[in-house]
Amino acid sequence: MEVVALVSGGKDSCFAMMRCMDYGHKVVALANLIPLDDTVDELDSYMYQTVGHQIVVSYAKCMGLPLFRRRIRGSTRDQGLSAVSSGAIASDYQRLRVESVCSRLGLVSLAYLWKQDQTLLLEEMIRRGIVAIIVKVAALGLKPSSHLGKELAELKCHLLQMNENYGINVCGEGGEYETLTLDCPLFRNARIILDDSEVILHSADSIASVGILHPRAFHLEQKPDSSDRIGDGSAVQESSSCVYEVDEVTTHDDVGEKQALSPAVDAYTNVDLCISKTGNNLRSMSCWIQDPSRASEGLKADLIAVLSRIENQLKEEGLGWVNVLYVHLYISSMKEFGLANEVYVSFITEKKCYLGVPSRSTIELPLVQAGLGKAYVEVLVSNEVVKRVLHVQSISCWAPSCIGPYSQATLYEDILYMAGQLGLDPPTMKLCLGGPRAELELALQNSEAVANAFSCSIYISAIHFLVYCSAQLTSSEKEEIEQTLKSSYITRLDRSKGGSYPTVLYVFASDLPKGARVEVKPILYVPSTDDWVAAEETETGVPLPAPSKTWTDCTAPYSALRDSCCQVHTTGGRICSAVVSITDDIASKICSAAGQLHHGEENLKIMARFCAFQIAKTLADNRFSWDSVTMLRLYYSVDLAVAADAVSGAFSEALAELAQDNPSMRTDVPFYNVVPVAGAGRSACANDIMACELLASNVSSAKSIPAEPFAVTPA
């Protein structure tokens, strides 16, 4: 991509440019920002006026690039630019401001220093030839008289020691110091020579004095190997006069987009749609087309109908898209992903989701084959507008960016819901080479990077792992994925704060985004330290009433099979996740037509009753009520050759039997989602007939974190 680099005069912006070139991008221009309001720190503003602008002009001469001196107005795409580079390392404020401008201009934000280890970053800058001097100090252990004007390489050991003694950021990310780059490998024409300077003491505090180095005179010294002449800079000044400004760029108008889609919405008001809901305060809500005889008018129309129905349901409950924490988007063809995204963003916008857009996963499923149209959407909804969202749109070395309308992760009531992670190489956003095993290993690394931003780890905090796999995987590749998950993840788990392994469910999808073969979607429990103690010592929840004798008698044989079909993970009575799998072996033991295909109506009812029994027992044994159920999905293989409504009917009948013993159990609307898949189960190698996925929560909303409109501040 052709990149305009934001430069301030310091080491970070220069090294960010070097990283851009490392990844094959072309830096074609430099841009510097002029502080125009009182929100800019007085000293920083003074530094810019006396140092930044003059030096940036010199950088343009040294590098032979045009300079953008003014703020950009209009579309930079007219200038042939695709991306903007910045030197953000840990500042959410800085990154978000750049991402906001890029989003409005249709540009990509490149932040290759973001979330990098500062010690390693400092060492790499010095090793790769960044020659920078300290021009501002404002921290304990840094003195204007001793350290201003010193090169970064000279002060490396001192900075590392100050980090150990006082915890300062070795790259100055906390404002401890600022730098001025005099030379680096990008300067192919000349280096900057500082001829004269003076120290200006801004604060003579005895503990942490604040001062700046004011350059009074400097010149450019041509490099011995330079083949280009520096010239007088007139071309640079001329180039800088044709740049636009960002101020008055209009964003996409939500109303206009919705009006463009309204004819399709009106045309599908009579579509037979089904809504399912679980729980009370925190619940899943799903919508799908339930008319198997209806000919679909296409993915766009079906998705509009489904999203409109969910939106109306939210409004009926006094809620909106801002209440949505997570979205599962199931579509019939990944080839139409772009079209699906176009419809999606017309409903779910940053304006409506002012606390942050929800996290999301998108996969292709055999919906048409199951008689469910071409779009199926499940959302996780909270009555309370309380959540914390991490939405990093910049391409970096940290983790894959979410340039689209969804977030990397959403934290609500101590539970972290993470977007599906692919084996993408973060700086290039390309699928890694090496097959499914390499993709899974990198997807786990990316998941860990996102978890670290919330001061947790997938190896300590995970309660459930949903692993999406491509249906095209061979038997050997399936086995390789399962063994990789065990060796790269399961064996590394820290179980000191939890007594059981997280539950794992493998789901085989027709296709995954970007042609990936595997995707992981973790759910983590991330309470405070005090909450861990409380979770271990306190029993919460309300036990379910004992089932009737009739139910007990007909399900008695199911208890003996529990260990072979169930995974259960609980955390101190607060969170319960479970996976129930019906393999061919289990089906042959519980179904009346043993040894035959289990397609018959009666066998469907038996398998549904078996799943309902295991779910009810899991809730009862761990003191969870049906109202605590956050998510309940029933995956069934389309190899059963039955329609989704037949499976749903069998499951509804089984749950209705349970409801006779539990008056509080809702039966007015389905509280489960029936999801057709190519396969699902507790093992990647088994071809299970059915699999149930359960998540229940007794976490009190009293401990909820305050709402924040921006991203999580990294630890």
Is the pLDDT assigned to residue 268 strictly greater than 60?
no
Collapsed DSSP state (helix, strand, coil) of residue 107: coil
- What is the spatial distance between Cα 513 and Cα 713, in angstroms, rounded to a whole number? 29
Is the pLDDT assigned to residue 389 strictly greater than 60?
yes
Q: What integer is the mean pLDDT of 44-73? A: 62
Which CATH number, 3.30.1330.40, 3.40.50.10470, 3.40.50.2300, 3.40.190.10, labels domain 269-385?
3.30.1330.40
Is the pLDDT assigned to residue 399 strictly greater than 90?
yes
Read off the DSSP letter of residue 126: H
pLDDT digits (tens, 9 = 90+) for 179-189: 999 999 999 88
Distances (CA, A) of 80 to 106, 244, 249, 428: 12, 13, 17, 20
The label of the residue with tokens 């050759």 reads 641
pLDDT of residue 420: 93
Residue type (1 letter), 221: E
- What is the spatial distance between Cα 502 and Cα 314, in angstroms, rounded to a whole number? 32
pLDDT of residue 620: 87
CB 446 within 8 A of CB 509: no
pLDDT digits (tens, 9 = 90+) for 484-518: 999 989 888 876 655 678 999 999 999 999 999 99
Residue 74 backbone zone (phi > 0: left; psi -120 to 50: alpha; other: beta):
left
pLDDT digits (tens, 9 = 90+) for 431-487: 999 999 999 999 999 999 999 999 999 999 999 999 999 999 999 999 999 999 999
**2-131+152-167+182-194 and 269-385 share one CATH topology?**
no
Is the pLDDT assigned to residue 251 strictly greater than 60?
no
Topology (CATH) of 547-701: 60s Ribosomal Protein L30; Chain: A; (3.30.1330)
Topology (CATH) of 387-533: 60s Ribosomal Protein L30; Chain: A; (3.30.1330)
CATH classification (class only), 2-131+152-167+182-194: alpha beta
Task: Kindly list the domain boundaries of the chain, sorted by start residue.
Answer: 2-131+152-167+182-194, 269-385, 387-533, 547-701
pLDDT digits (tens, 9 = 90+) for 577-604: 999 999 888 888 888 654 445 567 888 8
Residue type (1 letter), 154: E
pLDDT digits (tens, 9 = 90+) for 104-156: 888 999 999 999 999 999 999 999 999 999 999 999 889 999 999 999 999 99
